A and B are shown apart, each in its own frame.
Chain A
Amino acid sequence: MNEVLILDVLLLTLALVAAVAIVRVRSLLAATMLSGIYSLIMALVWSNMHALDVGFTEAAVGAGATTVLLLGTISATGRLSRRTPSLDLRAAAVVLFTGGLLIYGTLDMPDFGDPHAPIHQHRVPKLLAQQVGKVPGRPPLGMDPPDPAHPHPRDDFNGHVPNTVTSLLAAYRGFDTMFETAVIFTAGISLVLLLRRRDDDIVEAWDEREREVQTPRPVAPVPQPPTRSYTAVGASAEPDDAPKGEA
C-alpha cells in the first residue's frame, strides 16, 4: 500500500483530534498548547508531502512563535474561557456548509503528484524557461562537467540556486517577497505606533486601571515614617495609588 497515504491518514486523524480538542477544552493554556501540537502535526504533513519549506515555516511560526505570543496574551489576561453553549446550530451549519464547499472544490483538483497536472504542463515549464533568476548559457542539470568559471555544484538547478523555493521567492517573485517584507515591517510599525506608550503613560494607565477595578474602600492613611525610602511591593500598599489626582 501507499506509505505516504498511510502516514497522511494517521497524521490528519491526529490533527483532527487536536482541532476538536481545541474547541472543546476550556482552559486557554491547554488550547494554546493544543494549537501548537496541531501546527506541529501539520508541519509533519507538509514534510510528508516533500514541501519542506512550508513544513519549516509551519513549525517555526505556527508551533513556535504563535504559541509563545498566545502564551504572552494569556498571561496578561486570564486562563479560562467563558462557558459557552456546547452546540450552536447556526454556527455548525455555516461551518459544515463551508467545509462541504471546500471539499467539493477539491474534487476538480488533479491528484497529488500527478505529472500531467496543468501546473506541470503549462506554468512550470514557462517559469523554468524564464531568464530571471537564472544564469544564461548554463547547461541543463547533469549534462555538464564542473565548469571552473562557474564553480557551482552539479546539482545546480538548471542554472538556478539549488533550492527551487528560494529561487522562486527571491528571484522570480522578488517583488512579491519584497512587499511581503514591507507588510511585516508595516505590522511592526503599527504595533509601535498603536500599542507602545511612553513609560509615564503606562504607569499612569496602570494606576488608573487599578483604581477602577478595585472596589472603592476608604483610603486610610498608611502611617509612614516621613523620610523613608522604600521599595513598592504590592499594588494595595502604595500611597501613590491614593487618588490624589482627583482631589
Chain B
Amino acid sequence: MSKRHPVTGAFQAPRLIEHQSVLRVSCKLLVPFIIMFAVYVITHGELGPGGGFQGGVIMAAAFIFYGLVFGASRLVDRIPSRITDFLMAAGVLLYAGVGLHNLLAGSNFLDYSALNPAHPSEGEALGMTLVEYGVGITVTSVFITIYVTITEPRFMRSKRENVKVTD
C-alpha cells in the first residue's frame, strides 16, 4: 500500500492523487471555507477573539492542506514562491506604513485615531484592522514558506520524476 523510499526510508503517499477521490473532493470543498473563516477571523479581530496571527495561521492551514493532498509542487504552482516572498514583506510594510502615515499626519506613531480625525473611533477601528491585515499577510506567507521549504526534497523529487529526459 504505502511504499517506502529506497534511500531515505520515508513513506510515500500513493502517486496518483487522481485516484483518491475522497481526499481530492473534500480538500477542494473545504479549502474555500477555511479561507473564508480565516478572513472572518482577521477582519473581526477587534470585535471578538482572534486577529491577524490566528487568522493568518488558519489561512496558511488552508494552503498547507491543499499542499498535503495535492503535493507541494502543485501548491507552488498555485501560489509561487515569488508571491509569498513579496507578501511576507508587504505585510510588515503595511503595518509600519500605517504607523508612518499617522506620524506624517501629525500624530504619534501607530496612533490610529489620526486616520480619521473627524471620527477617531472609526480611525481606531480602521487602523487596527489594517494592522491585523498586515500581520495576517505576513504570517500566512511565512507559514506557507515554512511548509514548502521543509517538504522541499520530496517536492523536488516528484518534480524531477516528471522531467522528460531526451537523448
Q: Which chain A residues have a beta carbon within 8 Å of chain B's beta carbons?
A: 52-53, 55-57, 60-61, 64-65, 68-69, 71-73, 75-79, 132-136, 138, 149-150, 152, 156, 159-163, 165-167, 169-171, 174-175, 177-178, 181-182, 184-185, 187-189, 191-192, 195-197, 199, 202-203, 206, 209-210, 213-214, 224, 226-236, 238, 240
Contact = CB atoms under 8 A, between A and B. Distances in A.
Contacts of B61: 60, 64-65, 68
Given A68-B147, A161-B46, A175-B110, A60 B163 contact: no
Interface size on B, as a range, is 35 or more
B57 interface: yes
A26 B49 CA distance: 37
Contacts of B111: 132
Contact of A188 (B113, B145, B166): B145
- Grouping DSSP codes into helix (H, G, I), strand (E, B) and loop, the B interface class, with mixed when no group exceeds half, is helix
A202 B154 CA distance: 11
A208 to B, nearest CB: 12
B23 interface: no
A178 B57 contact: no
A136 B120 contact: yes
B47 A161 contact: yes
B47 A162 contact: yes
B142 A184 contact: yes
Nearest to B130: A170
B10 A78 contact: yes
Contacts of B161: 231-233
B27 interface: no
A170 B46 contact: yes
Interface string B108-150: 1111110000011100110110011011001101110111011
Contact of B131 (A53, A165, A177, A234): A177
B160 interface: yes
A132 B108 CA distance: 9
A102 to B, nearest CB: 26
B167 A77 contact: no
A165 B49 contact: yes
A192 B85 contact: yes
B104 to A, nearest CB: 16
A77 B135 CA distance: 32
Nearest to B143: A65
B31 interface: no
A61 B138 CA distance: 15
Given A162-B48, A184-B142, 14 more contacts: A64-B61, A65-B61, A69-B150, A133-B124, A135-B120, A160-B124, A162-B46, A171-B128, A181-B139, A196-B81, A199-B159, A206-B157, A229-B167, A240-B165
